[in-house]
Structure 1
């Protein structure tokens, strides 16, 4: 049983006229008749009654017609879906992002792409830069929002070889203070002024070097930071600072929050900026990735 036989059967059943169905299908009438006969032999039942030279569906034909219509509809849908997938209109885009991209870059990129490509499911996951690079190489991640020039990446020569990147921003580090903190009135904060403060910093997770950079900067300013807690994410970190449990340093931009609770202030010290970039493998055949890159002007 083949799809063209089902189409022939449905066309004849719709009009109960072989000649009209043959013209609609652009085939010769004898060819259409042979297709119907072959279908009946395959099924082992008669689909049409031909008494008095008038076509009518048999009881088997009536049941088969409903099933044939559904099969053809599903086949047509499968064809359309395959064509849409080939054009990158459906599928899944696996996107990794560093914590510092959560509140600006991620929604700025993912939101418009989701609106422009509603058939593509976005699978997003917070990952350190080095984990993203490994996943991009392994093909388990399609695109990453990462920090290609962060110290942990620089410590691994060639770690980005073979991957393509597009820098989105150059981000500074900020002091995060409770709004009522005495230093919150200053336009810029010197690290030395934070001596004696309780610090809330992300844990020194493998593949993330922000912790080390902050500690080294504090040591250069003449003190070892007193780290009292290691929040898991930016939202928790800022909430704990607002609650008065300590101060922090994080990569800009900070999360949106009531300025009556939190003050973000640039640092006066000479600290490195942190590039934020999109990264992907040119060997990744994903059509969803190709469509994403096109929407970002990178295709």
Structure 2
């Protein structure tokens, strides 16, 4: 039994007329009659009573119709699902992200994508830039939100934001009342810093900015994530230098101030492997390129 034969039978039973069924199926009446005859031969039972003037189902045809209708419906659903998967409308998108992406870039990009293709399941994993590079190479994530520079010829990058460096201060700090703070004003401060192992490029660049301002930061505490750094600043363990956007915190505990120096901004970029041909990834990148974001 072939699917086209089952479909021909269902449409003919629904129409109760071979001519109308043939028109609906876009075939000739002889072609439709041959398909139904072939189906009856494969089943070894008659499905239509041809002794009557009006087309009618036999008892076997009545029983067969319900199952054939379900078969056709399910086949149509499977075909539609396959087409949606090919268009990137079904499947899974695995996203790695640095923690600073959680405050703006990640929700902005994913909310737009989810609105466009709600049937795609999105899996998100917080990862440092270095871990994202390994995960992209091992096909454990499809796309990453990370901080360049990246030296990986098999990756493609697309910048999504340029972010400034801010100083984080306990709310009672003498510098908290200023609109801008100079790096040189922080020379005698204790610092809470990103762990270098979590992101050596970020760590070393910030230390380089401090040295260019005439001092080496006195690091008294390190943390792997920005929320912990903000909490330690609130606890008055030191000040910090954080890439915007900064965590949402109570201004009675922590304040963020822009720096007076004109420093280079930090890129936030999407990264993906040129070897990843996932339709879902392609759909995500197309959505981002169109700017389908709230």
TM-score > 0.5, shorter chain as reference: yes
Aligned to 2:219: 225
Aligned to 2:286: 294
TM-score for both structures, normalised by structure 2: 0.80
Aligned ranges for residues 73-152 of structure 1 at < 5 Å?
73-149=73-149
Q: CA RMSD in A?
A: 3.2
Aligned to 1:190: 183
Deviation of 1:101 (Å)? 1.5
Aligned to 2:67: 67
Deviation of 1:103 (Å)? 0.5
Deviation of 1:254 (Å)? 0.3
TM-score for both structures, normalised by structure 1: 0.79
Alignment partners' CA distance in 2, 1:239 and 1:252: 16
Deviation of 1:5 (Å)? 0.6
Number of equivalences: 288
Go from structure 1 to structure 2 and tell me whether the alpha carbon gap of 1:249 and 1:237 turns closer, same or farther (over 3 Å shift). Answer: same
**Structure 2 unmatched ranges of 5 or more:** none
Alignment partners' CA distance in 1, 2:198 and 2:228: 20
Do the aligned residues in 2 keep the contact of 1:7 with 1:72 (CA within 8 Å)? Answer: yes
Deviation of 1:128 (Å)? 1.7
Equivalent position SS for 2:76: helix
Go from structure 1 to structure 2 and tell me whether the alpha carbon gap of 1:268 and 1:221 turns closer, same or farther (over 3 Å shift). Answer: farther
Go from structure 1 to structure 2 and tell me whether the alpha carbon gap of 1:170 and 1:73 turns closer, same or farther (over 3 Å shift). Answer: same
When structure 1 is superposed on structure 2, of 30-39 and 50-59 the one drifting more is: 50-59
Do the aligned residues in 2 keep the contact of 1:189 with 1:265 (CA within 8 Å)? Answer: no
Deviation of 1:40 (Å)? 2.9
Equivalent position SS for 1:296: helix
Q: Aligned match of 1:167 in 156, 159, 164?
A: 159
**Structure 1 unmatched ranges of 5 or more:** 154-158
Do the aligned residues in 1 keep the contact of 2:94 with 2:143 (CA within 8 Å)? Answer: yes
Go from structure 1 to structure 2 and tell me whether the alpha carbon gap of 1:208 and 1:90 turns closer, same or farther (over 3 Å shift). Answer: farther
Alignment partners' CA distance in 2, 1:139 and 1:57: 55
Deviation of 1:76 (Å)? 1.6
Do the aligned residues in 2 keep the contact of 1:218 with 1:224 (CA within 8 Å)? Answer: no
Equivalent position SS for 2:252: coil
Do the aligned residues in 2 keep the contact of 1:170 with 1:275 (CA within 8 Å)? Answer: yes
In the alignment, structure 1 residue 2 sits paired with structure 2 residue 10? no
Alignment partners' CA distance in 2, 1:296 and 1:24: 41
